[in-house]
Structure 1
Amino acid sequence: MDELAEAAGVPVRTVRFYRERKLLPAPRREGRIAWYNEHHLARLRTITALLERGHTLGGIAELMNAWESGRHDVGELLGLDPALPTPWSEEEPLRLTPEALADYYGDQATAENLATALDIGYIAVDGDDVVHVSRRLLEASSGLVKEGIPLAEVLSAGRDMRHRMDLLAELFVQLARSHVLPGAEADLQAGDTTRLTEAIARLRPLVEVVVEVELALAMDRRLREELKG
């Protein structure tokens, strides 16, 4: 415990307190010796990073409990709801070890970046594994890091983009409600979302073209501005 506390940069009493609160899993014991490993250290650093971001110990404890006892809810933690009648996303979560995740980002797989990815919803912890929301997103973000963009900046951009995408998704859902399925609001209030999700699925190829073309045109406009500068 002394070595774990030193490696994490926290007092031994803090480690003891986290153990008592069930925030840290029990160590492996050999007689009177308690062995902590890299998973304990990663967990301890994650707790520290989450506290620094303003999370309470109570909230962290609830999240840890959800990770360890609700493995069937990992998709929900990542924002993937298999109960949707017609899911839009075709992304599949990717399960990997913490070491495998670190291989994607090298020395930038820090506790702070891990906490940010958790906060955004890119990853969730399931037992000793990490579950990423999307293989393609993981590989793309890793590629951006390899191109020289710090992971912290990639995550910051991802947080901003997720907010903007939520607004864009809401725009298209409202269009579907108002014009494709007039009166869908009443159905939703009655708990019937099937007609709405199926209608949105029919719009999917059209919406994807609009988003792709608009992004391409926006990039052209932005690049022209950069070249003028």
Structure 2
Amino acid sequence: MTRYTVEELAAKVGMSPRNVRAHQTRNLLGPPIRRGRTAYYDDGHVRRLEAIKALQRQGYNLVAIEAILGVRAPFASGEALQSLLQHLGREQPALVHALTGHGVLVHGEDGSMQMAPRLLRSVVGLHRAGVHPVPSLHILSEALDRLRGVAAELVRSTATSTSASRDPDGAADALVHLLTEAFRVALENVEA
């Protein structure tokens, strides 16, 4: 069995060690095997990272890849979610189409629909607060429609600041995180 350190694995699949760790944090990649203080990855990790890269080349973002690969929120009730999504598919196909276009919903090979785990947690949180999931999904779709252009412009205008980075992939990930946190702060400072 071949074993790789994180640096060796990253070099083998053509990505940075930081991205390997980021995929692990998102539960897209399983944990390494520890031998003392050293972590080792194997050929299963190589295949998984190659699958992630192939999906990215096809245009899928990481949220969609999480759904495709079955990374789910631990509290999500699969049957309840599938029932809701099947109902939405029949009763509100335009909403399902819009959320699919944003990469929030993905159709599985078996015909089922899956939702990005982070957004699912938000919908479940609103449901616990007494907001039915369908209005939550409408809010989500409308927000994504409005934010798409703003997000694209922010990425364009700030990407030049990170283009000379030693680690372009790491800089891109950090930029997305920075913009996400900036939006969160802006929302927290809005008076309702």
Aligning the two structures, in what range does the TM-score lie when normalised by the shorter sequence? 0.3 to 0.5
TM-score by length of 1: 0.41
TM-score by length of 2: 0.48
Q: Whose radius of gyration is greater, 1 or 2? A: 1
